[in-house]
A and B are shown apart, each in its own frame.
Chain A
Amino acid sequence: MSTETHQPPPDSAEQSDELAAEAAGTAAPEVLAGSLGEYARIQLRRIKNGESGALPVTLGLIAIVIYFQARNSLFLSPGNLVNLLIQGSPYIVLGMAEVFVLLLGEIDLSVGYSGAVAAVIMAWAVFTVPWWVAILLGLATGAVIGVVFGMLITRLRLPSFVVTLAGLLGLQGLMIVLVARSGHGPGGSIPISNSIIDDLTTGNLSPAAGWIVMVVVVAVAAAVLLLRDRQRRAADLVTPPLSVTALKIVVMAVAGVVVVLVGNADRGTALVSLRGVPWVVLIVLGVLVIWTVLLGRTRFGRYIYAIGGNAEAARRAGVNLNMIRTLAFTLCGITAAIAGILLASRLGSISTDTDGGQLVLFAVAAAVIGGTHLFGGHGKMLNALLGGLVVAAIYNGLGLLGLSAAVTYIVTALVLLAAVTVDALSRRGGTA
């Protein structure tokens, strides 16, 4: 970078900061910018430097929405948008699962079938145990799968690519065996016999509850942001300008209002009214928040980034690489299980036809399209949410246009390739 060019007079730290402002820093723009305009300029430089963040994927999402809306005016109807959210939730959550391992510079190709096997266990168990025990069993299944992969990868030093490719095949086989053994799936699929699990995706909040929850969520998020700013200011540290924080809160509030308005619009038929924000929105939001806090605010999260950035440095700093890696695969497995349960809930059953191969493609696509680097160290849970929405929008839109599954595969593959290309090119630009 150009840091050698700004040798300031050593007597004035402030002045040196002024001078260095000219140099393109890749630091978080919040702590560098003094005003909203400067924030925008720094954000622009970051994109040029390969630290693109959420902006490209947001623009891409808007472009995709405009395209499909132009081709089919049903695309932006409340009914379809809610359907898109429900359809997309497993992809988003699978993308979050993938983020854990992508951050390490590893990959998990088995997330689709890990989730499917977890869903089979859950669907099987819920015939005999309460719904929440069944869900816990499903999550435990995902955790066990993740631990096994993590152990194989760390203890035997096998490449995660190969181990999880074996997992993709092996778990598909296991899924078929389990469905057959359960005795509940004569047609190759186990139905979900519990209405609460069904409602995870298809159930809705009441319109009033939707508003209340939205206001509470936005208020809490705003309070957290403002409180953090105040603590930094009290400690006399560089603090984001109020305008930037305010802008973030406004964006969150607008997103919340849009989701609730769409969800609360009547998407039923002439005979039956159907209104309300689906539960699954809250579930995805909850997973997003918990995993974001885990990655951003805990030692475990910090070490995941450290290992992805420079494993040797992390090792020398005393980080237990094997434990952190195994834990990351475990969390990946648990998150995949959540996705599998959501998928089963949406379909009302879990079938041996579940295409874990397509799911993993969507998962990696969601994470990478969202801006997660394939080779570790960079990425956020939010990336998977935005990327997952892109994947879901493409899948849903192509379906609305009546295009075949083949076209959907090809388009998703092209979008994934485009995302990886942007990732690689921007990184080359960033290190030049």
Chain B
Amino acid sequence: MTTPSAADGARPASGGRAPSPAATTTDPAGRPIQEPPLLELRGIGKNFGPVRALTDINLDVPAGQVTAIVGDNGAGKSTLIKTISGIWQPDDGQILWQGGPVHLHSPKAATDLGIATVYQDLALCDNLDIVQNMFLGREPLKQWQLDEIGMELAAKQTLADLSVVTVRSIRQPVGSLSGGQRQAVAVAKAVMQKAQLVIMDEPTAALGVTQTRVVLELIDQLSSRGIAVLVISHNLNDVMNVADRVAVLYLGRLAAVAPIEDLDTGSIVELMTTGRSGHIGAAPGEPVHAASRPGAGPGSRADGGTPGDSNIGDHTGEAP
């Protein structure tokens, strides 16, 4: 559990951050902005047969910030994070990691780079304890035996760093934990694997009010440690609470990427349902990245996609 003051919905951890990444010349860590963002997506497209799930996605994920991905059902959120986490390979476009192009051909390739994905089902073994879960697949050995003491110390340290103190014993089976604690274990596992980008898929979907608070505080903890966080959420309250930037997907296209300060719940809903809101979002002849960091978008989105322009229909003619 982090500071209780975060419970009131304020975002204390973001207090020292630049108000808008677009308007400053340094990122929150004070480094010059010339440093490339941790992860860059350039023109990512993905087809499933005739269905175009993603079209020309251009998105920067900077370190130390929480980027929320929102969108209606079927907008392509899951496809996008599965592409980043190496489960699916994009059909078009390029992924840059710390400025260099990378090919994420498998989940392991992504994990090895430092991209950890916390799936909605958390992928924890209920019968194993917290330490065993946190080290699953990368157990250190000591004279051919599992180094239980080393693992327990490291797990304890990581959980303490993340201010997760509610667990009674870290030798407790994960099945006996609450939803928020399970989420914390899954996140701690990612942190311990030296993840630089943590992707969280609907982290608060199944949680009550208290547990949701725990998880949001955890996300703040991650970003204040310089880790980039990519959160998918349906809950706009949570998004407003925790995100620094919001990327709105609409019918497989990125309708807008904007700092949270430029948005409110109403405009996000509008973007999610129509693809535009006021001056933000896709409009004919206008780049969709109007509100994002200059230079982040290619500026070539003249075809922008009008609200009624269904991308899914674009390629139906190719259906076998």
Contact = CB atoms under 8 A, between A and B. Distances in A.
Interface in A204-220: none
Interface centre among B136, B144, B178, B211 (most CB of A within 10 A): B136
B137 A3 contact: no
A10 to B, nearest CB: 5
A306 interface: yes
Contacts of B173: 26-27
Given A231-B149, A298-B146, A25 B4 contact: no
Contact of A302 (B146, B165, B175): B146
B151 to A, nearest CB: 10
A297 interface: yes
A319 B132 CA distance: 13
The B interface, classified by DSSP as helix, strand, loop or mixed, is loop
A411 B204 CA distance: 51
B103 interface: no
A6 interface: yes
A313 B127 contact: no
Contacts of B129: 27-28
Interface in A270-318: 297-299, 302, 305-306, 308-310, 312-314, 316-318
Interface stretch (A141-149, A153-161, A232-240): A232-240
The interface size bin for chain A is 35 or more
A299 B141 contact: yes
A31 B171 contact: yes
Interface residues of B, number: 49
B149 A306 contact: no
A318 B137 contact: yes
A14 to B, nearest CB: 10
Interface in B122-141: 122-129, 132-133, 136-139, 141
B163 A10 contact: yes
B153 interface: yes
B1 A10 contact: yes
Contacts of A16: 165-166
Contacts of B1: 7-8, 10
A10 B136 contact: no
B98 interface: no
Contact of B124 (A27, A298, A313, A318): A313
Interface in A27-50: 27-28, 31-32, 49
A59 B149 CA distance: 33
A431 B173 CA distance: 12
Given A297-B145, A302-B146, A27 B171 contact: yes
Contacts of B121: 312
A406 interface: no
A197 B172 CA distance: 45
Contacts of B108: 318
B169 interface: yes
B175 to A, nearest CB: 8
Given A3-B177, A237-B149, A308-B127, A13 B168 contact: no
Contact of A317 (B137, B163, B167): B137
B181 interface: yes
A20 interface: yes
Contact of A314 (B119, B125, B160, B208): B125
B34 interface: no
Interface of B: 1-4, 107-108, 111, 119, 121-129, 132-133, 136-139, 141, 144-146, 149, 152-153, 156, 160, 163, 165-169, 171-173, 175-178, 181, 208, 210-211
Q: Which 5 A-B pairs have the closest CB atoms?
A: A317-B137, A309-B125, A309-B127, A20-B168, A377-B127
Interface of A: 1, 3-4, 6-8, 10, 13, 16-17, 20-21, 23, 25-28, 31-32, 49, 231-232, 235, 237-238, 297-299, 302, 305-306, 308-310, 312-314, 316-319, 377-378, 431
Given A1-B176, A237-B156, A310-B123, 19 more contacts: A3-B168, A4-B178, A4-B210, A17-B169, A20-B167, A25-B172, A26-B173, A26-B176, A27-B169, A27-B172, A231-B149, A237-B152, A238-B169, A313-B123, A313-B124, A316-B123, A317-B137, A377-B126, A378-B127
